[in-house]
């Protein structure tokens, strides 16, 4: 069996990607609606799937919907909103046990798909809006969830750094939206937004499991009925890439009553998934800098200097942003920052040991290969393919990593420029 | 090796127990590109007091030492184990629980080298005063990170409230003070005691040859001449049935209160199929009384007392066990009151056949899906192994659960006299 998705176009801007496999004991379906990340819609985009997930016209209360899913052997249904570059995607996910592992059952996948399609396209309504109670409860839940970002100091620090770095750009928006928008959204306006989403957003559907391609395509096409696209068609939103900060490095500090400081250094990498020549060198550069336990940041911040338990770097591959992160003692802020910047400098100067380099490539290759054993990771790679517009097989991705040279890595790292240094300090904390 | 095929999961497990006491298991997964190798010891944070099998003397080591040892086994005279794994293109990691410590790698390349390294690094410690001092700095940051984690703190506070003496009330990582009392000598003592093959298991999952795995284990362990070791005597204080405190509160930087309520098991002491039956029965009960499909869940949700982050679970162990319910809430007192009322009403009425069967079906489906990936299967295998539970026992046991037993368990376990509450309140 080949390990690659077969792609079908169900309509203009609506694509189905099927990976037939008997490796897994479940079948998983992801449905992505891609929308522009914009201040006017960010909060509605986040709220919409929360309200839809409560019920459907077929199962008009949450308890009924939930009982129905239980009867499908605990079919697991979930929603999310993801942010890749300035594309805000609403994601619906359904996972159901394969019939080969449930004796005497048939049609589980079909029933799961029908349920999913009902949730997405046939909501429980009151007049021309969503059910008022469900709407109100979810608006309140979203408010609490947005405000609850502060409960996780790691995530909070990352979001705050990014917000400061990209101020004025859509990318500064938090993926769950803004509390201040909530009073202006009504059950009616959200329902209108829903119809807008269904008819304008490009759609990608990923199906991974024990299916036969043609039959699965037919099943999805028959089950998930989307309205015809409007005159504008379904267009993939664009992301604006800023190559340089365009100002001196900015320093941002928050103070909270916490036990540990968090240092996040935000960078503009200037390189994205669409840059054919530099994309793989950039991933290797991040790997050498801080992607793994053997990387420069972990080795120098944690292993050599005992400053942190967590120290790493990460890149955002659609916007061209990067982050270096460490959780540290408050008084070690300057020392840690110096070490991190020194590591970036060494990378840019090409001071990369052979084993550092080879180890990074081997680790990235392992990540690509092992993705084939996990449905979620397979879907992620398939989403990457949609965004890059580059249809690489697993083998081609492996070859691309192996072809990267140290010179390319140093050259691409020279484009990384520090934008914002963020520190989460203790209350009343100085340096 | 002994071969066991499960017709429902369509998986094959090979197992052998070596003369030195080590159990080796291989879950054969044809078509998988990656493989995982795991070594685990029946040694967790609660095992700080034991009888040294060599001297017969009782020892009490500093809290957090099992976790400290886990960190330190990655450091060798020749360098760092996880760096070596990276060179092989593999990922490696480890974790310590209250009851066991596990080391693993996942790889798509160089399986034999990775597996040999696992067998070698876990069995051959190298500790120095300098490396112990360095680790104290790193673990101190790990402990401080958790001090700011409301979920972690709320869990820790619940355990402190529920248990009077049992060491499950002490953090797995210990405290900043306790880890500074750890020395290389105590680390060596704990390693030689608890990393004896008779106290361990080796597990592999992937598209690998089970016989090759077995011969590699035999070769690696053969290099070390293990003398037979009697079962380790672990010393646990007597735990009374009652909870220490009904309620514990802590202030942290959070946006709304975080509620957690636990029901403490008494008596304890089950193992094997009895423990598994109790585990799955309790899981089904929890879902049948306050899962998403229930009236209680609906009422709490619609009153704004819980949201999608509300969850519950049962934590079954040989020496302790408890159920817990947790989630952010606007009003912890009201949530506590209504949860207790809902649970009490279920005890009065008993579960209905329909709710029980529905929750059972869901549990079976979820067990199937856990077996989807190698990490899930490995976790289930190792956690079960030290409790005397086999990987392929889970689904048949779930299928065999009865409503009658569930209603008895509902009565016995959810006794409000053995409930405690932990609340994190906004600073």
ipTM of the complex: 0.91
Strands (E), A85-176: 87-97, 125-126, 129-130
A243 located within any domain? no
Which residues, listed in sequence order, are joined to residue A97 by a DSSP beta bridge?
A26
Q: What is the pLDDT at residue A101?
A: 86
pLDDT band of residue B114 (cuts 50, 70, 90) is very high
How far is the alpha carbon of B115 from chain A, nearest alpha carbon, in Å? Answer: 16
Going by C-alpha positions, the residue among A238, A122, A249, A262 that lies closest to residue A191 is: A122
How far is the alpha carbon of A264 from chain B, nearest alpha carbon, in Å? Answer: 15
> What pTM was estimated for this model as a whole?
0.94
Nearest to A327 among B87, B145, B304 (CB): B145
Query: What is the per-residue pLDDT across A304-316, written as a single tens digit (0 to 9) for each?
Result: 999 999 999 999 9
Q: What is the pLDDT at residue A431?
A: 54
Strands (E), B74-195: 75-76, 79-80, 91-96, 101-107
A1 located within any domain? no
Q: How far apart are CA A188 and CA A167, in angstroms?
A: 31
A317 located within any domain? yes
Residues on chain B touching A144 (C-beta within 8 angstroms): 255-256, 307, 328
Both tokens of B221, joined, read 């362990």
Angle at B383 (CA atoms; ends B230, B357), nearest 5 degrees: 135
Check whether residue A195 and residue A258 sit in a common domain: no
Check whether residue A126 and residue A274 sit in a common domain: no
Q: How far apart are CA A205 and CA A93, in angstroms?
A: 10
B5 burial via Cβ count (<10 Å: 0-12, 13-18, 19+):
exposed
A274 contact partners, CB below 8 Å, separation of at least 6: A388, A389
Task: Output the CA torsion sign for A363, B128, B191, A306.
Answer: negative
A240 located within any domain? no
Q: How far apart are CA B31 and CA A74, in angstroms?
A: 26
Q: How far apart are CA A190 and CA A136, in angstroms?
A: 12
- H-helix or E-strand containing B293? none
A242 located within any domain? no
Asked whether the beta carbons of A195 and A159 are under 8 A apart, the reply is no
Check whether residue A92 and residue A183 sit in a common domain: yes
Q: What's the CATH number where A256 sits? A: 3.30.830.10
Its domain, for residue A21, covers 6-223
How far is the alpha carbon of B198 from chain A, nearest alpha carbon, in Å? Answer: 32
Check whether residue A178 and residue A30 sit in a common domain: yes
Q: How far apart are CA B418 and CA A59, in angstroms?
A: 38
B408 contact partners, CB below 8 Å, separation of at least 6: none
Check whether residue A327 and residue A215 sit in a common domain: no
Q: How many CB atoms lie within 10 A of CB A430?
A: 8
**Average confidence score pLDDT of chain B:** 96
Residues on chain B touching A103 (C-beta within 8 angstroms): 8
Nearest to A74 among B10, B145, B362 (CB): B362
Go through the domains of chain B in sequence order and give each one's CATH number.
Answer: 2-222 (3.30.830.10), 247-426 (3.30.830.10)
Asked whether the beta carbons of B66 and B44 are under 8 A apart, the reply is yes
Query: What is the per-residue pLDDT across B325-368, written as a single tens digit (0 to 9) for each?
Result: 999 999 999 999 999 999 999 999 999 999 999 999 999 998 99
Q: What is the pLDDT at residue A430?
A: 65
Query: What is the per-residue pLDDT across A61-105, written as a single tens digit (0 to 9) for each?
Result: 999 999 999 999 999 999 999 999 999 999 999 999 998 888 888
Check whether residue A141 and residue A266 sit in a common domain: no
Check whether residue A24 and residue A103 sit in a common domain: yes
Check whether residue A278 and residue A213 sit in a common domain: no
Contact (CB<8Å) B295/A366: no
Q: What is the pLDDT at residue A3?
A: 63
A232 located within any domain? no
Query: What is the per-residue pLDDT across A107-166, written as a single tens digit (0 to 9) for each?
Result: 999 999 999 999 999 999 999 999 999 999 999 999 999 999 999 999 999 999 999 999
Check whether residue A201 and residue A277 sit in a common domain: no
- H-helix or E-strand containing A46? helix A42-52
Q: What are the catalytic residues of B?
A: 70
Contact (CB<8Å) A67/B293: yes
Contact (CB<8Å) B308/A141: yes
Check whether residue A204 and residue A284 sit in a common domain: no
Check whether residue A288 and residue A173 sit in a common domain: no
A83 located within any domain? yes
Residues on chain A touching B82 (C-beta within 8 angstroms): 293-294
Q: Give the chain A residue nearest B30 (alpha carbons).
A: A23
Check whether residue A256 and residue A201 sit in a common domain: no
Angle at B159 (CA atoms; ends B155, B162), nearest 5 degrees: 135
Number of structural domains in chain A: 2
A329 located within any domain? yes
């Amino acid at each position: 069996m080949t390990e690659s998705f077969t792609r079908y176009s169900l309509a203009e801007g609506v694509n189905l990607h099927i990976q037939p496999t008997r490796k897994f004991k479940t079948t998983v379906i992801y449905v992505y609606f891609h929308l522009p990340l914009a201040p006017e819609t960010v909060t509605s985009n986040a709220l919409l799937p929360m309200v839809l997930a409560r019920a459907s016209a077929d199962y008009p209360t949450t308890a009924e919907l939930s009982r129905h899913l239980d009867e499908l052997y605990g079919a697991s249904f979930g929603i999310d909103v993801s942010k890749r570059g300035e594309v805000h995607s609403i994601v619906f996910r359904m996972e159901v046990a394969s019939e080969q592992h449930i004796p005497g059952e048939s049609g589980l996948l079909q029933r799961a798909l029908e349920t999913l399609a009902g949730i997405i396209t046939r909501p429980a309504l009151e007049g021309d809006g969503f059910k008022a109670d469900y709407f109100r409860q979810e608006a309140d839940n979203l408010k609490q969830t947005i405000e609850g970002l502060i409960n996780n100091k790691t995530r909070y620090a990352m979001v705050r750094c990014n917000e400061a770095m990209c101020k004025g750009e859509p990318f500064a928006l938090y993926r769950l939206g803004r509390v201040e928008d909530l009073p202006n959204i009504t059950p009616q306006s959200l329902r209108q937004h829903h119809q807008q989403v269904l008819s304008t957003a490009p759609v990608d559907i990923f199906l991974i499991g024990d299916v036969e391609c043609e039959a699965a395509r037919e099943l999805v096409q028959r089950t998930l009925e989307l309205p015809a696209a409007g005159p504008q068609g379904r267009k993939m939103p664009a992301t604006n890439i800023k190559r340089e900060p365009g100002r001196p490095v900015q320093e941002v500090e928050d103070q909270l009553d916490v036990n540990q400081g968090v240092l996040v250094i935000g960078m503009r990498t200037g390189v994205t998934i669409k840059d054919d020549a530099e994309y793989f060198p950039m991933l290797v550069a991040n790997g050498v800098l801080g992607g793994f336990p053997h990387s420069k940041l972990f080795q120098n911040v944690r292993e050599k200097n005992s400053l942190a338990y967590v120290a790493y770097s990460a890149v955002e591959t659609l916007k061209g942003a990067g982050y270096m992160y460490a959780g540290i003692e408050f008084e070690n802020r300057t020392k840690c920052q110096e070490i991190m910047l020194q590591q970036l400098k060494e990378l840019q100067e090409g001071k990369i040991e052979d084993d550092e380099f080879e180890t990074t490539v081997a680790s990235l290759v392992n990540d690509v290969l092992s993705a084939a054993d996990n449905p979620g990771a397979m879907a992620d790679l398939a989403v990457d393919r949609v965004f890059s517009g580059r249809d690489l097989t697993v083998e081609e991705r492996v070859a691309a990593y192996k072809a990267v040279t140290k010179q390319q890595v140093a050259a691409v790292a020279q484009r990384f420029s520090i934008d914002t240094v963020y520190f989460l300090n203790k209350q009343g904390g100085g340096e | 090796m002994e071969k066991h095929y499960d017709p429902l999961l369509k998986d094959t497990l090979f197992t052998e127990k070596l003369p030195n006491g080590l159990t080796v298991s291989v879950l054969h997964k044809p078509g998988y590109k990656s493989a995982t190798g795991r070594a685990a010891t029946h040694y967790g944070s609660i095992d700080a007091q034991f009888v040294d099998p060599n001297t017969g003397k009782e020892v009490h080591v500093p809290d957090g030492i099992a976790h400290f040892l886990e960190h330190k086994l990655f450091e060798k005279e020749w360098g760092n184990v996880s760096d070596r794994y990276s060179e092989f293109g593999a990922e490696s990691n480890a974790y310590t629980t209250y009851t066991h410590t596990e080391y693993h790698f996942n790889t798509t390349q160089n399986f034999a080298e990775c597996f040999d390294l696992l067998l070698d690094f876990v069995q051959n410690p190298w500790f120095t005063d300098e490396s112990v001092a360095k680790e104290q700095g790193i673990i101190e940051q790990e402990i401080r990170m958790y001090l700011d984690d409301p979920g972690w703190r709320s869990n820790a506070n619940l355990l402190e409230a529920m248990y009077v003496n049992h060491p499950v009330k002490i953090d797995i990582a210990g405290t900043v003070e306790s880890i500074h009392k750890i020395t290389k000598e105590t680390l060596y003592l704990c390693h030689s005691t608890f990393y004896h093959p008779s106290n361990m298991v080796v597990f592999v999952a992937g598209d690998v040859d089970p016989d090759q795995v077995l011969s590699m284990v035999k070769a690696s362990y053969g290099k070390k001449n293990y003398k037979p070791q009697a079962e380790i005597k672990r010393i646990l204080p007597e735990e009374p049935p009652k909870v220490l405190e009904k309620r514990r509160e802590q202030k942290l930087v959070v946006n709304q209160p975080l509620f957690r309520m636990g029901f403490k098991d008494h008596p304890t002491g089950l193992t094997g199929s009895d423990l598994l039956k109790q585990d799955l029965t309790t899981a089904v009960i929890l879902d049948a009384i306050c899962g998403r499909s229930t009236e209680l869940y609906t009422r709490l949700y619609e009153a704004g007392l819980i949201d999608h982050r509300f969850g519950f679970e049962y934590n079954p162990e040989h020496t302790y066990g408890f159920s817990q319910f947790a989630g952010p809430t606007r009003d912890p007192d009201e949530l506590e009151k209504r949860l207790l009322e809902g649970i009490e009403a279920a005890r009065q009425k008993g579960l209905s056949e329909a709710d029980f069967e529905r929750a059972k079906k869901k549990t079976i489906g979820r067990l199937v899906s856990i077996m989807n990936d190698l990490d899930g299967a490995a976790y289930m295998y190792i956690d079960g192994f030290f409790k005397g539970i086999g990987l392929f026992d889970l689904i048949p046991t779930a299928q065999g659960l009865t409503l009658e037993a569930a209603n008895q368990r509902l009565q016995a376990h959810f006794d409000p006299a053995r409930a405690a509450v932990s609340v994190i309140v906004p600073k």
